[in-house]
A and B are shown apart, each in its own frame.
Chain A
Amino acid sequence: GQQLNQSPQSMFIQEGEDVSMNCTSSSIFNTWLWYKQDPGEGPVLLIALYKAGELTSNGRLTAQFGITRKDSFLNISASIPSDVGIYFCAGRSLSDSNYQLIWGAGTKLIIKP
Chain B
Amino acid sequence: DSGVTQTPKHLITATGQRVTLRCSPRSGDLSVYWYQQSLDQGLQFLIHYYNGEERAKGNILERFSAQQFPDLHSELNLSSLELGDSALYFCASSATGNPPLHFGNGTRLTVT
A105-B42 in contact given A40-B105, A42-B104, A45-B99 (Cβ < 8 Å): yes
A100-B42 in contact given A45-B99, A92-B99 (Cβ < 8 Å): no
User: In the docked arrangement, what's the CA distance between A48 and B48, Å?
Assistant: 19
Interface residues of B in 2-39 (CB under 8 A from A): 2, 4, 31, 33
Interface residues of B in 51-99 (CB under 8 A from A): 55-56, 58-59, 90, 92, 94, 98-99
Report chain B residues within 8 Å CB of A66.
Answer: none
CB atoms of A3 and B105 under 8 A apart = no
Interface residues of A (CB under 8 A from B): 1, 3, 6, 31, 33, 40-45, 48, 88, 90, 92, 98-106
Q: Could you jot down 9 A-B contacts, CB within 8 Å?
A: A43-B103, A44-B2, A88-B42, A90-B43, A98-B56, A99-B98, A103-B43, A103-B44, A105-B42
Query: What 4 A-B pairs come out closest when comparing CB atoms?
Result: A42-B103, A103-B42, A98-B56, A1-B59
Interface residues of B (CB under 8 A from A): 2, 4, 31, 33, 40-45, 48, 55-56, 58-59, 90, 92, 94, 98-101, 103-106
